[in-house]
Amino acid sequence: MSPAPLETRNAQAVPIADVPDLGDEEFRDAILTAVSLGSRVSALFGHPAGEGKLRLFCVLANDELGSLALLSRQVERRFMSLANDCPGVHLFEREIFEQWGVEPHGHPWLKPVRFQPPLVAAGARASQIGVANFFRVEGEEVHEVAVGPVHAGVIEPGHFRFQCHGEDVFHLEISLGYQHRGVERALAGGPDKRTIHYIETLAGDTTIGHAVAHCETLEALAGAEAPARAHAIRGIALELERLANHTGDLGALANDVGYLPTASYCGRLRGDFLNMTAAICGSRFGRGLVRPGGVAFDVEPARSAELQGRLARAMRDIRGATGLLWETPSVMARFEETGTVTRETCEKLGFVGVAARACGVGRDARQDFPLGMFRFSQVPVMTWHTGDVFARAFVRALEVESSGKFIDGQLKALPAGPVLAALPERAPDRIVATLVEGWRGEVCHVALTDERGRFSRYKVVDPSFHNWTGLALALRGQQISDFPLCNKSFNLSYCGHDL
C-alpha cells in the first residue's frame, strides 16, 4: 500500500514534511487514480530539493468533495510523462521542462510554453521566442495563416498559427510567452513591499481575483482570519470585477458580430461597474483594495447606499442590453454552434471557469471550495450544456445576474466590525494551496515557505493557463472568420498565462 496523497482543504497550511514523497510509479498511479475518481490537476510544478534534485508538487482538486490533495515526488533528469493518460497536465509538464530542464519522458509534444529563461542554469536550454516546432499540415491546398504577435486591436501579444483549407481551419496552434515578466521568480523570497503589487498586476483584469487568492494564502500561513466585514467587501469587489468583465465580454461579442446596440451599451455599463469598484477604493480595477489581513478601504453606510442605487440602475440596463442579444436572430445565428467544445474534452483537459460551465460542467470554486464570504452566502453555479459561443455568452449573462444579487445582498447586510487585522508571523516550512473563482475561472496560488516563513516558491496558475488549449480545440473545423468571435468568447489572459 503506497502512501496516500495528503488530504487538505482550500487555503489550509500544512507542513511541507507531511506531503508524501512518492516514487515514480506511485506518483503516477496516485494522480491517475484521483483523476479517474473525479479530481483534476490544479497545479503541478517543480521546486528544487537540493542535491540537484527537483521535487514535483501536485495539487489535485476534487470539485465534488471540495477537497484538495497534495503529493510530491523527487526527480533528477527525467520522469515519466502523464500527459498521454491525463491530458490536462500537458502544459504543466512543458512548463516544468522549460523551467527546470527536467524532461517529462514520453510527452507527446514537448515544446516551450513561454520561451522563458530557465529557473536553473544547469540542464535547461534557453530558447528564442517564437522559434518552435510548430504543427504543420502539408499539402497542395492547405495554407497557413500566421497572426501576431502584434495584434490589430491594441491588445496583448500572442502568436496564432492556423492550418487552413480555404476558409476552414484544420488546426490552430497558439504560441505565447511575449508577456513573460518573471513574476514567480520575483515573488520568491517574499512577501515584501512589492509582492502585493506583483500579485495585483499578474493579470490586470483579475486584480481582485489574484489579490484575494494571495491574501487568503498569507492568512492561512499566518493562521489568522480576516474580519468578517473584510470578507464581505472582498466578495463584493470580486463580483464587481466579474460584472465588469462579463459585461465587457458580452459587449465585445456583440461588437465582433457587428451588432451595435449591445456593443455600445455594454461598453458603457462596463465602465459603470468599474466605477463602482473605483467608488470603493479609488481604482477602477480594484488596485490597493485587498490587503493581507483584510481590505484597505471600508464601505460606509452612505457609500453602500449609493452603490446599491448605482447597482440597481446598471443591472436594469444590462438586462435590456443582453436581452437584445438573445432576441436578435442574426446574432443567435452567429453564436449558436460556433466554436463548440464538448463536455468530454472539457473534462479531459480540465478547463475552468466560464469555459467549463458552458460545457455543462458545474465547476465553480465559489461553490466547490468556498472561501471568505462565499462560505456563508452561496452564489448559484450557472451552466449551459451546448459548449458553443452562445453557451459562453449565456453563462456570462446568467452570472451577471447572480453576481448582481450577491453584491446587493452583501451591501444590504454588511457585517459590523473592523476591515483590517494585523497578521501574526507566518509559519515556517508550510505549503498552502488556495483556489479562488476569479471572473475568468479558478485562480490557484500555491505558496511554500522556508524555515523563516518566507516564500521559497510561489506558484501561480491563472485560469487562462488551463483554458488556452480549449480555444485551440474550439477552432477545429470552424471557419477562420469566426476566430475573433471564438477568441472573445473565451477572452483569455496573455499576461496571466505568461506570468
- Residue given cell 507527446 in the structure block: 108
Q: Are 356 and 469 in contact (CB under 8 A)?
A: no
**Distance in Å, CB of 161 to other proteins, minimum:** 11
**Distance in Å, CB of 128 to other proteins, minimum:** 23
Q: Are 100 and 119 in contact (CB under 8 A)?
A: yes
User: Of the two residues 9 and 143, which places its CB atom closer to other proteins in the complex?
Assistant: 143
User: Of the two residues 93 and 156, which places its CB atom closer to other proteins in the complex?
Assistant: 156
**Distance in Å, CB of 416 to other proteins, minimum:** 41
Q: Are 189 and 455 in contact (CB under 8 A)?
A: yes
User: Of the two residues 17 and 152, which places its CB atom closer to other proteins in the complex?
Assistant: 152
**Distance in Å, CB of 487 to other proteins, minimum:** 9
- Residue 300 DSSP code: -
User: Of the two residues 174 and 307, which places its CB atom closer to other proteins in the complex?
Assistant: 174
Give every CB contact of residue 337 below 8 A, 6+ residues apart in sequence.
386, 388, 390
C-alpha cell at 256: 465582433
What is the helix (H) or strand (E) element at residue 354, kind and residue range?
Answer: helix 353-357
**Distance in Å, CB of 172 to other proteins, minimum:** 11
Sign, Cα dihedral of 217, 223, 229, 230: negative
Range 92-96 contact pairs with CB under 8 angstroms and sequence separation of 24 or more: 92/41, 92/43, 92/44, 92/45, 93/44, 95/45, 96/44, 96/45, 96/46, 96/54, 96/56
User: Of the two residues 338 and 434, which places its CB atom closer to other proteins in the complex?
Assistant: 338
**Spatial separation of the C-alpha atoms in residues 275 and 244, rounded to whole Å:** 9
Beta bridge partners of 67: 62
**Spatial separation of the C-alpha atoms in residues 363 and 373, rounded to whole Å:** 18
**Distance in Å, CB of 484 to other proteins, minimum:** 4
**Distance in Å, CB of 289 to other proteins, minimum:** 31
Terminal CA-CA length for the chain: 39
C-alpha cell at 268: 458603457
C-alpha cell at 66: 471540495
User: Of the two residues 143 and 385, which places its CB atom closer to other proteins in the complex?
Assistant: 143
**Distance in Å, CB of 121 to other proteins, minimum:** 40
DSSP structure string for 233-299: HHHHHHHHHHHHHHHHHHHHHHHHTT-HHHHHHHHHHHHHHHHHHHHHHS-TT-TTTEETTEES---
User: Of the two residues 128 and 481, which places its CB atom closer to other proteins in the complex?
Assistant: 481
User: Of the two residues 105 and 268, which places its CB atom closer to other proteins in the complex?
Assistant: 268
**Distance in Å, CB of 254 to other proteins, minimum:** 8
**Distance in Å, CB of 260 to other proteins, minimum:** 5
User: Of the two residues 128 and 330, which places its CB atom closer to other proteins in the complex?
Assistant: 330
Query: What 3-state DSSP class applies to 349?
Result: helix
User: Of the two residues 259 and 465, which places its CB atom closer to other proteins in the complex?
Assistant: 259
- Chain residues that interact with other proteins, rule: CB under 8 A: 143-147, 152-153, 166-167, 254, 256-261, 263-265, 268, 328, 330-331, 333-334, 338, 479-485
